[in-house]
Amino acid sequence: MGSIASVLAQRIALGLLLLFLVSLLIFVGTILLPGDVAQQILGQSATPEALANLREELGVNRPPVERYLDWLGGLLTGDLGTALTSGQDINEAIGRRLANTLFLAFWAAIIAVPLAIFLGLLAVRYRDRWPDKSISATTLTTISMPEFVIGYILMFILGVKLNWFSPTAVGYRPDADLLTRLDSIAIPILVLTLVVLAHMMRMTRAAILNVMQSAYIETAELKGLTRFAVISRHAFPNSISPVINVIMLNLAYLVVGVVVVEVVFVYPGMGQYLVDHVTKRDIPVVQACGMIFATIYIGLNLIADLVSILANPRLRHPR
Amino acid sequence: MNKQLKYYAQRAAIGLMSRREFVGRAMALGVAATTANAMLANAVRAAGPQTGGTIRLGIQGGATTDSLDPALAANSVASQVNLLWGETLLQLVKGGGLEGRVAESFEGSDDAKTWRFRIRDGITFSNGRSVTAQDVIATIDRHVGEDTKSGALGLLRDIDSVSADGNTVVIGLKNANADLPYYMQDYHLVIQPEGGKNDPLAAVGTGPYVLKDHEMGVRFLFEKNPNYWGDYGYASEIELIVINDNTARVAALQSGQVDLIDRVPPRTAGLVGRAPNINVHSVPSAGHYVFIMHCNSAPFDNNDLRTALKYGINRQELVDKILFGYGSVGNDTPINESYPLFDDIEQREYDPDKAKFHFDKSGFDGTILLRTSDNSFPGAPDAAALFQQSLAAAGIPLEIKREPNDGYWSEVWNKQPFCTSYWGGRPSQDQMFSTAYLSTADWNDTRFFNDQFDQLLLTARAELDQTKRQQMYTDMSNLIRDEGGLICPMFNDFIDAQSDRIEGWEDIPIGFAFMNYTAPMRMWVKA
């Protein structure tokens, strides 16, 4: 067990180092954005006096190194600062937004992950026959279409024409009952599921097929197990490591990559929040969002690594 | 026939007949569809507004980064929000006149240098406090003060003194201005207690609604202000939902999630209006989509070259293909018939021969570079491509450079010598000209420096004789049209759409969309 703890500590330390580098990158990146925050806040019709007054108030005239150190200090104490544009506390605003994004990601994941694995197992079971081919064809089609196209199509058919679900998430309230909330995000969940399904399904299929070549699979078959039991009880556990990696990548995508879906369906999550603040050059918020996304991404990858190591004892003793 | 039509209109107004059926029957009686619709609108008004219920607006333009401070309002959501909880001294009315809101009446001195606004008796803010002349003075003071960030500062620069005379506010000007009252209806200048100096974000004002709950860039919930003095505000609640995505906004209206939306994309407006329960309103506006040249930068410092480009644009084609007919042709001046003192000037037409003549005369033989971006106006890159084609017919080479949306307003517009852009309308010619065509204007984005024009503008400002003023404005339009750096091919309509759950719509072709932001308080939920 000692070795697991040391691997864990090592991974976490690496993650923190990565986060620090990311913070540098984000800061430099946001400085390189063209345009200035005062002009963006006051818009096309701002007077020079107003611009000068606002710049002074926002403190954007200070040298970048000083601003970076200030920001890093705040970050370490858990204070993300206040938004330049609205003067709102970023911690509070992001907390609300992040909860919404996680809610959407959670329900999409609950549906997409088991479905992808099940479809992957099914595809192996009927390898090269019509169920395999139709599963591959459908999922590859949905992943090839941009999310907003699938979004608009489902919005029109399921929302406007058939009226099964709310076409947009404008009715979403964080304090409403679960059923109402699920109704407003039903179509976004569907879109996200269709977008992430193919990747996980294909990886499950490929990983299991790889294991299916092994001698112990033959043994299991000779014991007289049904084909599906062989796949799900013997082959799948041994192919979990590549699958879990892909699942974690897709979970990360569900949190950090849903900007388009959130904007299209008017869902008040992190995506819309980030886009608005990038447009307005509200750098503290962009940096805060960037750091949160990076943390989620690195965190999920860390979990994937750990699960792989636990599932495969060979990885615990690297030679 | 008339009697029968009236009878139908009354039935339709109280819901015994659908709008579609009514228009059908009216047309069978030989009445044009537009006339029938107008008749129905009148009958609906006559049937009387209903009180109660919730009106839900789906509106474009809001962002999480917005502020509740009216001085910082810079988009349609912020403006609409301001005017629900607050009121300005005056308000624009149909036809271009002004009507008192917080001010009951107003009058100017003969030299147009002193203006008196009498504050309405007995009105209170939504926190219960009475409105005094001091509040109005403080409001103006906050917008022009040293550390102001107000979008209205440009308008108020000429103010010399503001003082109270009982419950009358007296504004003294450095220079005469016959249009000062028009400045007082600007959506930034919402009257706040103590001018909002203590708490600019309080959203306390004299408007028909009070802000109950809000999340910036997402939604705003308003309740009827029980102490409201006026006759606006029929619905008990107004819910304003920010929907920036065009398709989502239309879908929300079609499925009944909202009752009224703005900025229906012209491309699909015709299809949206085909649904039986939806009515699309296309209202002419003073907003225009433009190509702007800097009159002081080569090669655009040559008037023959500017004239060549003006002759080389096919205005009708742009109205048809970019606005899909929801607009009207421009005439290289920012003024159209929405303005109170508009007078017709000769329409410039597409003429490749004249374009070629002026181009050759200019002596320029290189390629002209036009910068454009998606957000400079809807369809701007397409419009630029059409311009390129129509110029090619005159043998004038145009190169198009696509710029990123990001930073377009700070890096390209008002910096580069030739680019695409847009302007919203202003309530008076004076304001439009002073904003962008006076030599000293903050946003003289065509770098138009013309002494004769400046002189005319200042004279017209002090002139109280409307006929003489009208003549001066016409002369000024001609100057811009013939010598300026503005190529104005089209004026865009406001395209709003409503469901038949609410009624009371009226076309108001001035100011802004949503009946110049009065739709939520002047429409009502059908009984």
Which of A300-314, B132-146, B425-439, B483-497 has the least mean pLDDT? A300-314
pLDDT (0 to 100) of residue B335: 94
More confident of the two residues B176 and B16:
B176
What value does the mean pLDDT of chain A take? 85
- pTM for the full predicted model: 0.83
CA dihedral of residues A109, A112, A118, A124 (deg, nearest 10): -120
pLDDT digits (tens, 9 = 90+) for B364-386: 989 999 999 988 898 999 999 99
Q: How many residues does chain A have?
A: 319
- Radius of gyration (Cα) for chain A, nearest Å? 24
Q: Both A262 and A129 in a single domain?
A: yes
In this complex, the residue of B252, B435, B442 whose CB is nearest that of residue A48 is B442
Residue A221 within any structural domain of the chain? no
Q: Both A261 and A187 in a single domain?
A: yes
Residue A72 within any structural domain of the chain? yes
* C-alpha span between B295 and B306 (Å, rounded): 8
Residue A103 within any structural domain of the chain? yes
Q: Percentage of residues in chain A with pLDDT exceeding 90?
A: 22
Q: Establish whether this prediction's ipTM goes over 0.95.
A: no
pLDDT (0 to 100) of residue A65: 84
Among B77, B149, B157, B158, which would you mutate to test the A interface (most chain A Cβ atoms within 10 Å of its Cβ)?
B149
Q: Both A291 and A309 in a single domain?
A: yes
pLDDT band at A280 (very low <50, low <70, confident <90, very high): confident
pLDDT (0 to 100) of residue B160: 92
pLDDT digits (tens, 9 = 90+) for A10-48: 888 998 999 999 989 988 887 776 666 677 666 656 677
**In chain A, which residues have their Cβ closer than 8 Å to the Cβ of B243?**
168, 170, 266
pLDDT digits (tens, 9 = 90+) for B60-74: 988 888 889 999 888
pLDDT (0 to 100) of residue B298: 86
Mean pLDDT of A93-117: 92
Q: Both A29 and A103 in a single domain?
A: no
Residue A226 within any structural domain of the chain? no
Residue A219 within any structural domain of the chain? no
- Residues within 8 A of B (CB atoms), A 95-114 only: 96
pLDDT (0 to 100) of residue B258: 96
pLDDT (0 to 100) of residue A41: 66
Mean pLDDT of B269-292: 93
pLDDT band at B14 (very low <50, low <70, confident <90, very high): low
| B360 contacts: CB under 8 Å, gap ≥ 6 | none
Please give the residue range of the domain that contains residue A139.
97-212+240-270
Does the CB of B247 have a partner CB in chain A at under 8 Å? yes
Number of domains in chain A: 2
- Residue found under tokens 């929000």: B81
Which of A276-280, B351-355, B521-525 has the least mean pLDDT? A276-280
More confident of the two residues A245 and B118:
B118
pLDDT (0 to 100) of residue B45: 66
Mean pLDDT of B107-129: 94
Q: With a cut of 60, say whether residue B10 has pLDDT above it.
A: yes
**In chain A, which residues have their Cβ closer than 8 Å to the Cβ of B153?**
47, 49-50
User: Token pair for residue B468?
Assistant: 């003489």
pLDDT (0 to 100) of residue A158: 92
Residues paired with residue B398 on neighbouring β-strands, in sequence order: B368
Report how many Cβ contacts below 8 Å link chain A to chain B: 132
A280/B252 touch (CB, cutoff 8 Å), yes or no = no
What value does the mean pLDDT of chain B take? 90
B67/A86 touch (CB, cutoff 8 Å), yes or no = yes
Q: Both A10 and A41 in a single domain?
A: yes
Query: A49 to chain B nearest CA, in Å?
Result: 8
pLDDT (0 to 100) of residue B408: 84
- Residues within 8 A of B (CB atoms), A 48-77 only: 48-50, 53-54, 57
Q: Both A206 and A78 in a single domain?
A: no
Q: Both A249 and A166 in a single domain?
A: yes
Q: Where are the alpha helices (DSSP H) in A145-177?
A: 147-154
- Residues within 8 A of B (CB atoms), A 243-282 only: 263-266, 268, 272-273, 276-277, 279-280, 282
pLDDT (0 to 100) of residue A238: 83
Does the CB of B213 have a partner CB in chain A at under 8 Å? no
Residue A275 within any structural domain of the chain? no
pLDDT digits (tens, 9 = 90+) for B224-280: 999 999 989 999 999 999 998 889 999 999 999 999 999 999 989 999 999 889 999
Q: With a cut of 80, say whether residue A85 has pLDDT above it.
A: no
- Residues within 8 A of A (CB atoms), B 415-454 only: 435, 442-443
pLDDT (0 to 100) of residue A192: 93
Q: With a cut of 70, say whether residue B15 has pLDDT above it.
A: no
Which of B91-100, B110-119, B469-478 has the least mean pLDDT? B91-100
B216/A44 touch (CB, cutoff 8 Å), yes or no = no
Candidate ranges A5-14, A41-50, A201-210; pick with highest mean pLDDT: A201-210
pLDDT (0 to 100) of residue A241: 83
CA B117 to chain centre: 24
Q: Both A102 and A161 in a single domain?
A: yes
pLDDT (0 to 100) of residue A259: 83
Mean pLDDT of B404-422: 86
Does the CB of A33 have a partner CB in chain B at under 8 Å? yes
Q: Both A54 and A200 in a single domain?
A: no
pLDDT (0 to 100) of residue B53: 94
Residue A224 within any structural domain of the chain? no
Number of C-beta neighbours around residue B405 at 10 A: 11
pLDDT (0 to 100) of residue A232: 82
Residue A247 within any structural domain of the chain? yes
Half-sphere exposure of B263 (CA within 13 A, CB side): 19
User: Token pair for residue A298?
Assistant: 């690195």
User: Token pair for residue B313?
Assistant: 């644009």
* C-alpha span between B461 and B319 (Å, rounded): 33
pLDDT band at A2 (very low <50, low <70, confident <90, very high): low
- Residues within 8 A of A (CB atoms), B 60-99 only: 63-67, 72, 74-75
Q: Percentage of residues in chain B with pLDDT exceeding 90?
A: 70
User: Token pair for residue A285?
Assistant: 């918020």
Q: Both A147 and A252 in a single domain?
A: yes
pLDDT (0 to 100) of residue A229: 86
Q: Both A200 and A122 in a single domain?
A: yes
Q: Both A264 and A132 in a single domain?
A: yes
Q: Percentage of residues in chain B with pLDDT exceeding 70?
A: 95
pLDDT digits (tens, 9 = 90+) for B300-333: 999 999 999 999 999 999 999 999 999 999 999 9
More confident of the two residues B318 and A68:
B318
Q: What angle do CA B50, B56, B60 make, to 5 degrees?
A: 135
Question: Comparing C-alpha atoms, which of A157, A182, A263, A147 is closest to residue B254?
Answer: A157
pLDDT (0 to 100) of residue A310: 78
Look at residues A251, A270, A289 and tell me which one is the last residue of a structural domain. Answer: A270
pLDDT (0 to 100) of residue A109: 94
Cβ atoms of B219 and B242 closer than 8 Å: yes
DSSP reduced 3-state for A63: coil
pLDDT band at B358 (very low <50, low <70, confident <90, very high): very high
